[in-house]
Structure 1
């Protein structure tokens, strides 16, 4: 009996200790605790493409995530930045701002000169590999906006499709009819995704964010579609039936992500953030507008159609990302 009591006491101690460790780990994963100290991966500098020599210091529990969507196909090692979204997370105010940056924005690439933003990653990937490509894109965007980038996450069309299919399907608020004229999958050519709330699988979500040629405002309308898809993913992940899938999605994040500086615990903490997110009230979406001009491209050594952002509007919008 005495040995049994000793055994039960030890078992109880293990259970209590294990529960305490689990609780402590869970508490550390809470976004307000986990993101108190975040890295800064962007490099600032005094060059012709920079908004200034310094960037604003981020407050505690406030950080920026750069979301990149590449057109890199399976088996390829290089790709253009097709989707560029800056996400600002303010855990103090529980507010989240998103800004789409046009892929053809004129930016400065260290060591090369001026070119399109979409080309930066491709050029540096071709010469230095995946990491060099994404770091160059991060730095060009930070210098363009004057805003530090703390985390980056890059996916491609196959990764996006896999993510949506892992959730089953997502509901997307499609703001206008979208005719597929440049589909990722040739068999979808000519199909129309109708205006309204549509339940889409991974393949059709991929087609939706890829289309731009048939859209009235071309790339700006595609940016809007990309934002709608991100919100659709968040809303679907919030559904009770899908909350149990989040740990598995985090564990399989490498299936969806090409490159990131976020650890699995970083992603898990963001997952806890999503659980309490009200996309309609807490998320604000911005577009960075500019003028399309024929400008000299230092890489092409010729004129190229590029978007020159309105600097006054850019600085005003970036105030929401400090």
Structure 2
């Protein structure tokens, strides 16, 4: 074979591989561009569906200046909304405080039966009832008054949305603290949750976080399970394996979630979460007692505990401390004792 023919054959092979690689890169970039456009499109639609600003005239203690997500400390109020008897209640009330500068993240679950003043109603009752007296603004104002802290953002979801999100993610894994039975919504069947690790679907996860009557720790145990599942959802939702499910996740959010976080800030939240993902969460808890008033069961928080938590949260928001924990709080678990006294208050 002549040398020139051999060179021509080698050149053809080189051109073939260059064309193959170029075509592959074109397809890859084209597919990536489509994926990026698809995500952007669905995120835009979902953002428009879920975004709902609060009525500032109904919330007195609300910061008017813009919060810079990656720099300023802020509060997010998480509400699980339950529809019952034609009305709505905030079955889950959880306050998350984040300080990007110090890396501190705290989580406070307020027992649903906490007896406190509901400004929109004009009298004291269970904090779970606050939502029925004026929606999210009423609950925000109630938490404002209870803890004396501003609420910058809120996120609400109904139970259907919670189930859909967990199912779209392929379920969540939890560490059941003790064996118990709980009734599932919809089918009303009873599910046994065995002590140890379990994989739960959306319907099961909802029953897992709602059960409290047979928990030895009462609302304290329920709050711990709520925190565990929420963290599992966030961890799984932001994992690489969930990228292919982004359309479905955004659809679930758009249909069942409301928030005043501007869509333009979503990327900042994801960036901040990636930065603080390994941070230890400080679990805060209200100390108090269970009792009755006019024949109705309530959780009565101690004034001293309310003031203590208010100080901790405001210190975090002002970036004035590097360790907010006191002897009555823990970064590992809540230390609140809720004694069932049965005493009339």
TM-score, structure 2 as length reference: 0.66
Distance 1:168 1:95 in 2: 30
With over 3 angstroms needed to count, the CA separation of the structure-2 counterparts of 1:162 and 1:251, relative to structure 1, is closer
Distance apart, 1:306 and its partner CA: 1.7
1:226 is displaced (CA, Å) by 0.8
Partner of 1:294: 292
- Say whether 1:188 aligns with 2:189: yes
Is it true that 1:105 corresponds to 2:114 in the alignment? Answer: yes
CA contact (8 A) 2:92 2:112 kept: yes
Q: 1:165 offset after TM fit, Å?
A: 1.4
Q: What is the Cα-based RMSD across aligned positions, in Å?
A: 3.1
Asked if the contact 2:168/2:248 (under 8 Å) is kept, the reply is no
1:228 is the counterpart of 2:228: yes
Paired residue for 1:91, among 100, 113, 132? 100
Q: Which moved more, 1:84-93 or 1:308-317?
A: 308-317
Pair 250,318 (structure 1): closer, same or farther in 2 beyond 3 Å: farther
Answer yes or no: is the 8 Å Cα contact 1:40–1:148 preserved in 2: no
2:146–2:306 contact (8 Å) kept in structure 1: no
Match of residue 237 from structure 2: 237
Task: Name which of 73, 79, 86 aligns with 1:62.
Answer: 73
Partner SS, residue 159 of structure 1: helix
Count of residue pairs the alignment pairs up: 259
C-alpha contact 1:183 1:211 (8 A) present in aligned 2: no
Q: Give TM-score scaled by structure 1 length.
A: 0.71
SS of the residue aligned with 1:85?
strand
CA deviation string 1:228-261 (max 9, x = no partner):
111111222243212554576346522231x321
Aligned partners of 2:188 and 2:86: how far apart in 1? 25
Corresponding residue of 1:265: 264
- Paired residue for 1:117, among 127, 135, 155? 127
- Distance in 2, matches of 1:245 and 1:266, equals 21
**Counterpart of 1:285?**
283
1:183 touches 1:210 (CA, 8 Å); kept in 2?
no
Q: Give the stretch that moved more between structures: 248-257 or 90-99.
A: 248-257
Q: For residues 92 and 121 of structure 1, what CA distance do their matches in structure 2 show?
A: 33
d(CA) in 2 for partners of 1:108 and 1:86?
18
Change (3 A) 1:200 1:230: same
Instruction: Name the CA distance, whole Å, in 2 between partners of 1:40 and 1:62.
Output: 22
CA distance in 2, matches of 1:89, 1:243: 26
- Could you tell me which runs of 5 or more consecutive residues in structure 1 were left unpaired when the two chains were aligned: 1-21, 23-38, 46-53, 125-131, 296-301
Residues 197/95 of structure 1: CA separation in 2 closer, same or farther (3 Å cut): farther
The alpha-carbon deviation at position 270 of structure 1 amounts to: 2.0
Deviation at 1:208, TM superposition (A): 0.7
**For the structure 1 residues 247 and 96, does the alpha-carbon distance in structure 2 shift closer, same or farther, using more than 3 Å as the test?**
farther
Q: Which has the larger radius of gyration?
A: 2
CA distance in 1, matches of 2:251, 2:185: 27
CA distance in 2, matches of 1:197, 1:265: 38
Alpha carbons of 1:184 and 1:248: their partners in 2 closer, same or farther (altered >3 Å)? closer
Cα distance between partner residues in 1 of 2:238 and 2:260: 24
Residues of 2 paired with 1:236 and 1:304: CA distance?
40
Q: 1:226 to 1:311 in 2, by over 3 A?
A: same
1:160, 1:171 → 2: CA distance?
15
Q: Are positions 1:310 and 2:302 aligned together? A: yes
Secondary structure of 1:72's counterpart equals strand
> 1:205: how far off?
0.7
- Determine which of 56, 59, 62 is the counterpart of 1:43: 59
Partner SS state of residue 291, structure 2: strand
In structure 2, C-alpha distance between the alignment counterparts of 1:187 and 1:40, rounded to whole Å: 38
Native 8 Å contact 1:173 1:232 kept in 2 = no
**What does residue range 95-244 of structure 1 map to in structure 2 within 5 Å?**
95-110=104-119, 111-122=121-132, 124=133, 132-180=134-182, 182-189=183-190, 191-243=191-243
